[in-house]
Structure 1
Amino acid sequence: MNSTHHIYIALGSNQGDRLKHLQDAVDLIFSEIGKINNIAKVYNTPAFGFEGDDFLNSCILIETDFSAEVVLQKLQDIEIKLGRKKTQSETYEARTIDLDILFFNAECIESELLVVPHPELQNRQFVLQPLNDIAAKFVHPKLQKTIEELSFECDDKSDMEVIKMWLKNPSKQFDFSSYNYIAIEGNIGAGKTSLAHKISSDFNAKLILERFADNPFLPKFYEEPQRYAFTLEMSFLADRYQQISDDLSQLDLFKDFIVSDYDIYKSLIFSKITLPEDEFKLYRKLFYLMYKDIAKPELYVYLYQNTERLQENIKKRGRDYEQNIEDEYLEKINSGYLDFLKNQSELNVKIIDISDKDFVNNRADYLWLLGKICG
């Protein structure tokens, strides 16, 4: 699994529609690099090191899985997209957009392409002041001083004026505010847990994950399905009921909503496939006794993937007990879900085909999926 990195990036522009250039840069960083956690105020500052028009400067904190070198390349590509002309000059000059990595986590990096922390940031108030807005207590890993201290000690006394307009965080276009509880569902290997994790992290949601890994009957079921089917389904039902009841009853004041990687109704869908008819009738009676007391999700998202993609995902994640799952079994599960969803009038259901998407490794696909969920 890739590590998540926290990166501070300085933004500046002194040509054309300066505020639009900054906002366009923020939007492209969000769409191509990663989540934006914080945005500083925007400052009007005089040109530094040359005679020219005033700059607008700001700073953002982002979160990404990309390495520092990849982020640098993507920032340079964004600069070109926004009209910056690359020159060989090492002197200061006017530009439509300037994007600089200030800090990459708390690491010190020195390569032919990149030096982090930025070697001149402590000498530039137009960098320090916006940075101080969002990272006053962050300690410079080389100088061992906080940004607040560096800003106070900086010899650059340039006049800086806060403008009365803010840069907007592009994540606000994805509005989950009307939901208290969202369930992400799908077949084996569809990406339920991955999506629930990402939404929880990016949108401050309480995360509920199914505890399937602790079920001792699951590997046995895949080896001898007829023998262990009823035992497996009953153990899953009891565990799901207890977990979802406990988690939904425990209010987290610091989270905005709840997202889970399952809905308890999956118990009935799977049991209908795995159990003989007489056992399923008994199981269904027990299920509905429990189900009537469970809170229902306000949004039910079903991630559809075709069987070929499901098998690819199953092989990729490498759980030994899943490696012999047959296509027919996956197709029965998918049919079971779709039959259930077609007859649901009480649930707010969105079925999204992601067979040709890779939202885990492709940020554009992830943002597309968020748009489908929130749209």
Structure 2
Amino acid sequence: MIHYKRTYISAGSNLGDKFKNLNTTVQLLNESAGTVISCSPIYQTPPWGFDSDDFYNICIGLDTQLQPQELLDCLLQIEQKMGRVRSNSKGYSARTIDLDILFYEDEIIDEPDLIIPHPHLQLRKFVLQPLADIAPGKVHPILQKSIAELLDFCEDESELEKTNLEISILKKDFSKFNFIAIEGNIGAGKTTLATKIAEEFNGKLILERFADNPFLPKFYEDRNRYAFPLEMSFLADRYQQFTDDTAHPDLFKNFMVSDYDIFKSLIFAKVTLQEDEFILYRKLFNFMYKEVVKPDVYVYLHQNTERLLHNIKKRGRSYEQSIPPDYLEKINNGYLEFIKTHPNINPLIIDISELDFVQNKNDYQFIIDKIHDF
């Protein structure tokens, strides 16, 4: 399995066609260093530490297979291709392109020719501002502060001007998929993620509709009594909704994305029903399942129980507040068992226990990259 490392690079130019220099640099990074996954707006900034023309500065998010020293060598080669001539004299000077590694994952490196995190990044507004645009929640592994926090406390009073220029990077494209299913436990964030993907990549959004199920509040009060009618009503509703929604693709959308797969009915039923009830339920389910559209990729958002309980409490549905932790653990185990025994569904498990893809753009991009490259 290929393992990519998320790095952040600062790029600046103040000689020649500055915009062209930055644009060409991003292309060269894509060709030789990895995959550029994000690029900040371009800021016009005064030179830092010497007198010269203003710079154009950006920060770049890059996924790379290169080791830190290999990445440094690659950046030096790109600078050379761009016409930069490094001098042995002390101090700063104008340059066609200047590339610095700011972060390499959370690694701390102190070598004669390479220090990571960059030792001066917290002092430079022209680095912190564009970096905050693409990774505000990135935490400095030594200072233990996020980029947004470092920007707030930065004493650099240089004036930055955000330009109208943008570096175009290859946008992720989900049109190669016909149908993506986003699955997960109660409170995992599957509806939020499916909605964000549909909005950003022009997908037809298919959401599970169950808010008015009359058995759900009763089930949380008395599981034994209401488990079978609840699961049967869910199955009937899901089957009807799912077949209706997937039978007629939207000609103006590139693909379909849902916040559930109909197989979840069997997973929940196995946890909630008595053995004889489940046998009957499974016979009916198998008959229905033959008729439904299967996803091209089955994305399972895994979260630990503590995080699930926090999310459930936060969204405030009254009938969910009494869900016991062991019930969530059984559901998690049920999903993982299903994935293990059904490799033909093309499962992709993403552990998001330590991610916040709603507030942190970098975390969201990480998930998008995982699905896109699946």
* CA distance in structure 2 between the partners assigned to 1:298 and 1:74 by the alignment: 43
- 1:91 match: none
C-alpha distance in 2, partners of 1:19/1:223? 64
Q: Which runs of 5+ in 2 are unaligned?
A: 1-12, 31-36, 42-51, 57-124, 134-155
Q: Distance in 2 between matches of 1:19 and 1:301?
A: 39
**2:341 counterpart residue number:** 343
Compute the displacement of 1:204 (Å).
Answer: 0.5
- CA shift in 2, pair 1:278/1:347, >3 Å: same
**CA spacing shift, 1:216–1:75, aligned 2, 3 Å:** farther
Are 1:76 and 1:99, in contact at CA under 8 Å, matched by a contact in 2? no
Partner of 2:204: 206
SS at match of 1:234: helix
Q: Does structure 1 residue 242 correspond to structure 2 residue 262?
A: no
Cα displacement (A) at 1:371: 1.3
String of CA shifts for 1:223-264, please: whole Å, max 9, x gaps. 111111111101110111011101111121110000000000
Residue identity in the other structure for 1:280: F
State the alpha-carbon separation in 1 of the partners of residues 347 and 198 from structure 2. Answer: 19
Aligned in 2, Cα 1:218/1:74: closer, same or farther, shift over 3 Å? farther
Quick check: 1:183–1:297 contact (8 Å CA) kept in 2? yes
The answer as to whether partners of 1:182 and 1:300 remain within 8 angstroms in 2 is yes
Q: In structure 1, how many angstroms separate the alpha carbons of the residues matched to 2:316 and 2:344?
A: 37
Tell me the equivalent position of 2:218. Answer: 220
* C-alpha contact (below 8 Å) 2:296/2:345 kept by paired residues: yes
| Structure 1 residues 140-186: Cα deviation after superposition (integer angstroms, max 9, x where no partner) | xxxxxxxxxxxxxxxxxxxxxxxxxx95244x2x3323210000001
1:331: how far off?
0.4
Question: Cα gap change, 1:212/1:77 in structure 2, threshold over 3 Å: closer, same or farther?
Answer: same
Q: In structure 2, what residue type is equivalent to 1:312?
A: H
1:99 alignment partner AA: K
1:232 aligned partner: 230
Q: Secondary structure at the match of 2:181?
A: strand
Q: CA deviation at 1:22?
A: 5.6
Cα deviation digits, residues 266-325 of structure 1 (max 9, x gap): 000000110000110000000011000001001000000010111111111111001011
Which of the numbers 78, 86, 96 marks the counterpart of 2:130? 78
- What's the counterpart of residue 333 of structure 1? 331
Residues 1:87 and 1:233: Cα distance change in structure 2 (over 3 Å): closer
For residue 99 of structure 1, the aligned residue among 151, 162, 169 is 162
Alignment of 1:106-117 (within 5 A): none
Decide whether aligned partners of structure 1 residues 262 and 20 sit closer, same or farther in structure 2, where only a CA change above 3 A counts: farther
In 2, distance between residues paired with 1:350 and 1:23? 34
The RMSD of aligned alpha carbons is 3.5
- Residue 20 of structure 2 corresponds to 19
Alpha-carbon distance, 1:20 to partner: 4.0
- Residues 94-243 of structure 1: pairs in structure 2 closer than 5 A: 98-100=161-163, 167-170=167-170, 172=171, 174-243=172-241
Sequence identity percentage: 58
Retained in 2: the 8 A contact 1:75–1:99?
no
The alpha-carbon distance between structure 1 residues 14 and 209, as it changes in their structure 2 partners (threshold 3 A), is same
Alignment CA distance shift 1:32-1:320 (3 Å): farther
In the superposition, the TM-score normalised over structure 1's length comes to 0.61
TM-aligned CA distance change 1:186 to 1:18, over 3 Å: same
User: What is the alpha-carbon distance in structure 2 between the residues aligned to residue 309 and residue 365 of structure 1?
Assistant: 16
> What is the DSSP-based 3-state SS (H/G/I as helix, E as strand, rest coil) of the residue aligned with 1:213?
coil
Alignment-derived partner of residue 262 in structure 2: 264
Matches within 5 A, 1:273-288: 273-288=271-286
Change (3 A) 1:32 1:194: farther
Find the aligned partners of 1:19 and 1:258 in 2 and give their Cα distance: 38
Q: CA deviation at 1:77?
A: 1.0
Contact kept, 8 Å, 2:187 with 2:308, in 1: the verdict is yes
Q: CA deviation at 1:372?
A: 1.5
2: CA distance, partners of 1:325 / 1:79: 40
Deviation at 1:86, TM superposition (A): 7.0
**Unmatched 5+ residue regions in structure 1?**
1-12, 37-51, 57-72, 89-96, 101-126, 131-165
Say if 1:23 and 1:168, in contact at 8 Å, map to a contact too.
Answer: no
Task: Report the counterpart of residue 7 of structure 1 in structure 2.
Answer: none
Deviation at 1:374, TM superposition (A): 1.7
What do the CA deviations read for 1:181-232 (whole angstroms, capped 9, x no partner)?
0000010011100100110111100000000212111111101111111111
What is the aligned partner in structure 2 of residue 319 from structure 1?
A: 317
SS at match of 1:212: coil
Q: Supply the AA of the counterpart residue of 1:305.
A: Q
Equivalent-residue separation in structure 2 for 1:182 and 1:249 (angstroms): 15
1:238 and 1:366 map into 2 onto residues whose CA distance is 33
Report Cα offsets for 1:335-369 as digits up to 9, x if no partner.
Answer: 10011100113211101111111111111110111
TM-score by length of 2: 0.61
Cα distance 1:359–1:267, how it changes in 2: closer, same or farther (>3 A)? same
Q: Which moved further from structure 2: 323-332 or 208-217?
A: 208-217
Helix, strand or coil: the match of 2:211?
A: helix
